[in-house]
Amino acid sequence: MQVVVGGAAAFLSVVALKQYLSRHQPKGCVVIREPGLLGCLPKIWQNFAKNTTHSNLVAYHEADGDTIYLHLGILQYFMPPLVITRDPRNVEHMLKTNFENYPKGGTMRNSMHELLGDGIFNADGDLWFKQRKTASQMFTANRFKNHIWRVVHKNCQKVLDFLSTNQEPVVDIFNLLNRFTLDSIGEIGFGTSIGSLENPVSPFLRSFDEAQRIVFRRFVLPGWRLFQLLGLGSESRSRYHMRSLRKYSSNIVEELSQTLHTEAGDSFVGLFMKGEPNSPKEFLTDLVLNFLIAGRDTTAQGMSWCLYLVMQHPEVEQKILDEVEAVCKGEALTYEKLKDLKYLEAVLRESLRLYPSVPLDSKTALQADRLPDGTFVPRGTLLLYNSYGMGRSKTIWGPDASDFRPERWLSDELKTPYENPVFHAGPRECLGKRLALVEMKTVMASLLKHVRLSLAVPPEQVLPDSAATLGMSSGLKCHVELRNP
């Protein structure tokens, strides 16, 4: 009798578990399964190690559809479902139509809190809204024309001076541009000269990159807190790098608090100090880190991938040079002339399409929902939109989707931000979009006018990074030749 009762209980438990899992698993999209107990997880880790994460996801999309569910084997019953889409209808639904249902969510905040804290890129709800409203005051027309342009122009000249006097046979342009954008956002946002163009070996710069690789891996590292506690894997140095960044940012806050009534009052932190004078120092430190990371990484990466493509297309480089000459007429580049560099902007937008600085962006479904393509996502699902995959979608861009063709941006049929979300879209569209384009157009026009760059390695050896943003794990090693020595 006991055996019968026990067997019945086990049967009912299995039925109940199946029903539970059925209600809590995505439906209506292709499920990607890999052999083994951990499903797709070992392959994800392998791609991280080889820096092939994004190309592998594109292959999945091409073979299995624009919305896919990566099954993580037995761990799937202890982790949120992971759904990735590159369907523009789903992206618009997430970022605009049903915006309130798709915040960053707990998984994102917990993984990145050590780095970003409660800053704008890791916040939801009122906390995010208040930060965005205050930060938007930094990007006025007057500040662009005066303060922002002055800083960008000055630091661009430092880059040109370095290349003009450099004696090394090979220069890592990616490293140089990261130093340019870090110094620029430091001065634009905080009135602080970080000095990385003068001191390229600062340990602070290394912590910047390592911290972002660490938090990116946490998304697919179950129990990463235990790894951190035991000092294993990528978590072995996490606390060191996070503390290094927070200490540096805390010092910036301290310095700004002493000079609030001078020009520092116009900084990001100054605006918050004036608007909310009782803001805790920890929160202001979060702000500094958020804007330093956003202002450095994405813009430097955008320029680097653009140069990588231009160096392989000399006809594009010549068109840029011709346009710069036609606009400047032999005179210096000015802020007012930037708007006339139409072809250069098309080149930048085309390179961002193929190499978006934020290749994957994650949201969490607060409530169960059905996406426009018919996919059902249960409550708690991690829903990612794949900008990198969208840039290579023939459905969106046509049969030449993988080709570098800037002319597509000069037509009248431009894509919506939900077809090309390289600056995000909807209420959380990137506040720094205009700043990024000013920096990129200034550096690209000035750099190509003064030097001729060529790759020092085969193109296939320039590799993306496995981090939250699309860096270059290999760097961008180039030969530099002055056009007018």
Q: Where are the domains of the chain?
A: 28-482
Q: Which of 72, 95, 117, 159 is nearest to 390 (CA)?
A: 95
Contact 173, 307 (CB under 8 A): yes
User: Can you give the pLDDT at residue 9?
Assistant: 47
Q: Give the residue, 281 or 259, on which the prediction is more confident.
A: 281
Q: Check whether 449 has a pLDDT greater than 50.
A: yes
Mean pLDDT of 365-372: 97
How far apart, in Å, do the first and last CA atoms of the chain sit? Answer: 96
Q: Check whether 19 has a pLDDT greater than 80.
A: no
Residue 190 class from Cβ within 10 Å (0-12 exposed, 13-18 middle, 19+ buried)? buried
Top mean pLDDT of 203-207, 278-282, 464-468 is at: 464-468
Q: Does the domain formed by 28-482 have CATH 3.30.300.30?
A: no
Coil, strand or helix: which one is 276? coil
Q: pLDDT-derived band of residue 21, with 50, 70 and 90 as boundaries? A: low
Amino acid at 76: Q
Beta bridge mates, 82: 70, 382
Q: For the CA atoms of 187, 188, 190, 196, what is the dihedral angle to 10 degrees?
A: -30
- Cα–Cα dist 196/178, whole Å: 9
Residues in Cβ contact with 143 at an 8 Å cutoff, skipping those fewer than 6 apart: 266
Q: Show contacts of 37-44: CB within 8 Å, 24+ apart.
A: 37/73, 37/74, 38/72, 38/73, 38/74, 38/75, 39/70, 39/71, 39/72, 39/73, 39/74, 39/75, 39/76, 40/70, 40/71, 40/72, 40/73, 41/72, 41/73, 41/75, 41/220, 44/70, 44/220
- Give the other-Cβ count within 10 Å of 344's Cβ: 25
Mean pLDDT of 97-123: 89
User: Can you give the pLDDT at residue 345?
Assistant: 97
Q: Check whether 292 has a pLDDT greater than 80.
A: yes
User: Can you give the pLDDT at residue 10?
Assistant: 47
| φ, ψ at 81 (rounded to 5°) | -60, 145
Q: Check whether 176 has a pLDDT greater than 80.
A: yes
Q: Show contacts of 158-167: CB within 8 Å, 24+ apart.
A: 158/183, 158/197, 159/197, 159/443, 159/446, 159/447, 160/446, 160/447, 160/450, 160/451, 162/197, 163/447, 163/450, 163/451, 163/480, 163/482, 164/450, 164/482, 166/480
Binding residues for heme: 430
Q: Check whether 135 has a pLDDT greater than 90.
A: no
Q: Give the residue, 428 or 2, on which the prediction is more confident.
A: 428
Q: Give the residue, 363 or 283, on which the prediction is more confident.
A: 363
User: Can you give the pLDDT at residue 16?
Assistant: 44
Contact 373, 67 (CB under 8 A): yes
Tokens 């880790």 label which residue?
45
Give the predicted TM-score (pTM) of the model: 0.91
Across the chain, mean pLDDT equals: 88
Q: Give the residue, 272 or 290, on which the prediction is more confident.
A: 290
Question: What is the token pair recorded at 34?
Answer: 């890999």
- Cα–Cα dist 308/299, whole Å: 14
Tokens 């949201």 label which residue?
363
Q: Which range has the worst mean pLDDT, 73-77, 351-355, 405-409? A: 73-77
Q: Check whether 7 has a pLDDT greater than 60.
A: no
Strands 369-370 and 376-377: antiparallel
Mean pLDDT of 197-201: 83
Contact 38, 73 (CB under 8 A): yes
Q: pLDDT-derived band of residue 414, with 50, 70 and 90 as boundaries? A: confident
pLDDT in tens, 450-464: 999 999 999 999 999
Q: pLDDT-derived band of residue 343, with 50, 70 and 90 as boundaries? A: very high
Binding residues: 430
Mean pLDDT of 285-298: 86
Q: Check whether 17 has a pLDDT greater than 50.
A: no
Q: Check whether 6 has a pLDDT greater than 80.
A: no
Mean pLDDT of 334-361: 96
Mean pLDDT of 32-48: 92
